[in-house]
Structure 1
Amino acid sequence: METANKTKIAVIQLTSKQNKDDNFQIAEKLIKSAKDEGARMAFLPECFDMICPSKKLTMENGEPINGPTVQRYQELAKNLNMWLSLGGLHEKGPESEDKRLFNAHIILNKDGQIVSIYRKVHLFNLDIPGTRLVESEFSRPGTEVIKPPVTPCGRLGMGICYDVRFPEFAISLAKAGADILSYPSSFTIPTGKAHWEILLRSRAIETQCYVVAAAQVGAHNEKRKSYGHAMIVDPWGKILAEINDEKPGYALAEIDFDYLKEVRQRLPVWTDRKPELYGYIRPAYAEPIDLTTNSKQHSLDDEDFKFGENAIVKTHQIFAKTFYSVGFINHRPVLPGHVLVSPLRPVTKRLSELNNDEIFDLFQLVQKVQKAIETIYQAEASTIAIQDGKDAGQSIEHLHVHILPRKKTDFGGNIDKIYQQLEQHDELDNPFNLRLLTNDEMNQQCKVLRSYF
């Protein structure tokens, strides 16, 4: 029986073919049956919409996210009051020279609303005797690892099929707070027999997350067959549910949040890691993009940023945000394009206070911001400066990096004057008569900069 600390989920196995209506009717029946047995969320495999016998037919039958296939599942989720993971839509993007389709993993809430979208970043290219599946011929790769959305089964790390072979991908999701990882798949039979179970259990053990892997099974057409064996694995690596039949079906398991906590306490691998020895993996922080509007699903306008003890950076100043860092417009710039990057952690005064993850993230964002402002302001150089402590000229006790696009004509050619100006630019008497930007000016600058992130 489900309790506050347990949630029942269903993993679905399909044999998708070219006919979308037939595929939907089979999936609908399985989802309804799982709902009747208490599942609060159901996970569908990659290619839940269709599997066509040719690249040409696949390309012709792709749909946008707001197309009829997803709309049918949105209505189903709403009618059943049930969350759905749609494991891999053949998504037609906006018109461009690249006509290939995205492979989109979509999360719907119980009201039928789209909560998150992940586009597969690792494309599977297999060309061996007897099996040829070169995904890059008809699929466009995504470009971001998406921040895990909150669902009834915890924070959900979203992947697709071939992503399961990349442990760094899973660790990125786990570091972003994932409780469960989802790998909707369509494994070939040779790779499935050799690696499927091993990969899924490995990802669960190393991340200490539940893993759910919906699967395609059987013959889709004369050219293509899938391995099946949809399963759910617990964070200790134990298989909780598996579909061994070579036909469509579903299996159920409970996500136990108390057990998840127990496993992580029993074996504290996250605190024992030493990224300074073998490299840093950034937590997933990207927000999903709605390609119909070319905008982030969630806005940077959600919240202000507390800068130091008393200052507040308003949302109209913020142009970039990662898991650990934030980029914002300097309200009193020394030069046009003068911006700041700072750690998000409240009142982080000195560089020495940052942990390894925060250091890497901060300077990676600094590099991205530098490239953006040099492009916008047509500069070929930048000043990047940190006043690390009050005696170094830090005016607000919160670590921040100054980034300014530079030209040889700055300050009448006296380019080193920048350091004196930086030291005194925020003093109350404003010795250099630097002008405060208006809200409209900061809004406009943010709008331009946000397009680079």
Structure 2
Amino acid sequence: MSELPSSGLAVALIQTRTPATQAEALAHIEPLIRQAAVEGAKFILTPEGSNLLEQRKDRRGLAITTEDQDAVVLALRRLAAELGVWLLIGSAIVKSGHSGDDRAANRSLLIDSGGGIVARYDKLHVFDVDLPNGETYRESSTIRPGDGAAVADTPWGRLGLAVCYDIRFPHLFRRLAKAGASMISVPAAFTVPTGEAHWETLLRARAIETGAFVLAPAQGGTHEDGRKTWGRSTVVGPWGEVIAKLDHDEPGVLHAKLDFALVEKARASVPALRHDREFAGPL
């Protein structure tokens, strides 16, 4: 756990190793959120797949329900209201609600201090890859990608929403920044090979390009379904500097303070968001 500076928005990133059922997931994550609030956080963010992390199709299909019936989503909304904090459910795996498509949504939910849902974002880019170590992922077979980006107002500034694999698509982050986001969330469940190679570099690059804080709570360790995730939850400042980081895969709480004057300073120093030009090609 990092020590808190004296001023700024107190945020906390929750690092988890989410179990494969909602009941176990809630028992796992609730104490960490309570700890974060007791330690002073006003805005708390959880990772991708906070309600369950399960690739085995028979178990996954039985576990997934609608957003308004999901036990973790409902409980965390109540918890945000009880604690008087804003909470980003980094993502919940829930039924998408699209007729004729039985794939789930990988949905980020921003909850205000009254327990209300302020914003929803369904992960735009699904992870379909064959890694050099032999691991294969076809997220598109079970996750319906979203159709649009999302930026939401908070008491401290605008938050842009992204999830995991979205980090590799800089044009999305540029759109979020140009829509006024001073902080961008990237809850994740990164694989170990890609996490070790690219996680911090990508987070720092997106922060530099946007002049925004990047908040990246992560899953970490070996999960019940056999997958291994990288952990290393990280907060990056708008100049690209890592201001807080967990250096391990274990569940825990990462604290940081965000000084939004640094966003203005970074964007004034390198005003690239104002310098887009139309251009032709390549063909």
Structure 2 length-normalised TM: 0.93
Match of 2:99 among 96, 99, 120: 96
**Rounded Cα–Cα distance in structure 2 between residues aligned with 1:233 and 1:76:** 27
Match of 1:131 among 128, 135, 151: 135
1:278 CA drift (Å)? 6.5
1:53 CA drift (Å)? 4.2
**Rounded Cα–Cα distance in structure 2 between residues aligned with 1:160 and 1:134:** 16
1:2 CA drift (Å)? 5.8
Deviations 1:68-90 (A, max 9, x none): 32110111000000111001111
1:356-371 superposed matches below 5 A: none
1:258 CA drift (Å)? 1.5
Map of 2:11 onto structure 1? 9
Matched AA of 1:21: A
**Rounded Cα–Cα distance in structure 1 between residues aligned with 2:27 and 2:229:** 20
1:55-94 superposed matches below 5 A: 55-67=57-69, 68-94=71-97
Map of 2:54 onto structure 1? 52
- Please, which runs of 5 or more residues in structure 1 have no aligned partner? 280-453
**Rounded Cα–Cα distance in structure 2 between residues aligned with 1:241 and 1:158:** 20
Given the superposition, is the C-alpha separation of residues 262 and 275 from structure 1 closer, same or farther in structure 2, using an over 3 Å criterion? same
Map of 2:276 onto structure 1? 274
Matched AA of 1:65: E
Map of 1:40 onto structure 2? 42
Query: Is 1:229 matched up with 2:232?
Result: yes
**Rounded Cα–Cα distance in structure 1 between residues aligned with 2:279 and 2:95:** 42
1:64 CA drift (Å)? 1.4
Deviations 1:276-321 (A, max 9, x none): 2379xxxxxxxxxxxxxxxxxxxxxxxxxxxxxxxxxxxxxxxxxx
Map of 1:253 onto structure 2? 256
Deviations 1:402-448 (A, max 9, x none): xxxxxxxxxxxxxxxxxxxxxxxxxxxxxxxxxxxxxxxxxxxxxxx
Match of 2:20 among 10, 18, 21: 18
SS at match of 2:266: helix
SS at match of 1:162: helix
On the 8 A contact 2:54/2:225 being kept in 1, the answer is no
Deviations 1:207-232 (A, max 9, x none): 00000001000011252110110100
1:60 CA drift (Å)? 2.4
**Rounded Cα–Cα distance in structure 2 between residues aligned with 1:60 and 1:197:** 35
**Rounded Cα–Cα distance in structure 2 between residues aligned with 1:141 and 1:34:** 31
Given the superposition, is the C-alpha separation of residues 2 and 111 from structure 1 closer, same or farther in structure 2, using an over 3 Å criterion? farther
Match of 1:201 among 195, 204, 216: 204
1:152 CA drift (Å)? 3.6
1:9 CA drift (Å)? 0.3
The structure showing larger relative contact order (alpha-carbon pairs under 8 Å, at least 6 residues apart) is 2
1:155 CA drift (Å)? 0.5
Matched AA of 1:41: F
Map of 2:146 onto structure 1? 142
Identity over aligned residues, as a percent? 36
Runs of 4+ in 1 over 3 A off after TM superposition: none
Alignment length (residue pairs): 275
**Rounded Cα–Cα distance in structure 1 between residues aligned with 2:23 and 2:214:** 29
Given the superposition, is the C-alpha separation of residues 11 and 153 from structure 1 closer, same or farther in structure 2, using an over 3 Å criterion? farther
- Please, which runs of 5 or more residues in structure 2 have no aligned partner? none
**Rounded Cα–Cα distance in structure 2 between residues aligned with 1:56 and 1:159:** 28
**Rounded Cα–Cα distance in structure 2 between residues aligned with 1:111 and 1:228:** 30
On the 8 A contact 2:25/2:72 being kept in 1, the answer is no
**Rounded Cα–Cα distance in structure 1 between residues aligned with 2:252 and 2:244:** 12
Deviations 1:87-116 (A, max 9, x none): 111111336321110100000000000000
**Rounded Cα–Cα distance in structure 2 between residues aligned with 1:57 and 1:208:** 42
1:25 CA drift (Å)? 2.0
SS at match of 1:110: coil
**Rounded Cα–Cα distance in structure 2 between residues aligned with 1:222 and 1:23:** 14
1:99-118 superposed matches below 5 A: 99-118=102-121
Calculate the aligned-residue CA RMSD, in Å: 1.6
Matched AA of 2:144: R
1:139 CA drift (Å)? 0.5
Structure 1 length-normalised TM: 0.59
Deviations 1:236-255 (A, max 9, x none): 01101111122100111111
1:122-201 superposed matches below 5 A: 122-128=125-131, 129-146=133-150, 148-201=151-204
1:61 CA drift (Å)? 1.4
**Rounded Cα–Cα distance in structure 1 between residues aligned with 2:156 and 2:215:** 11
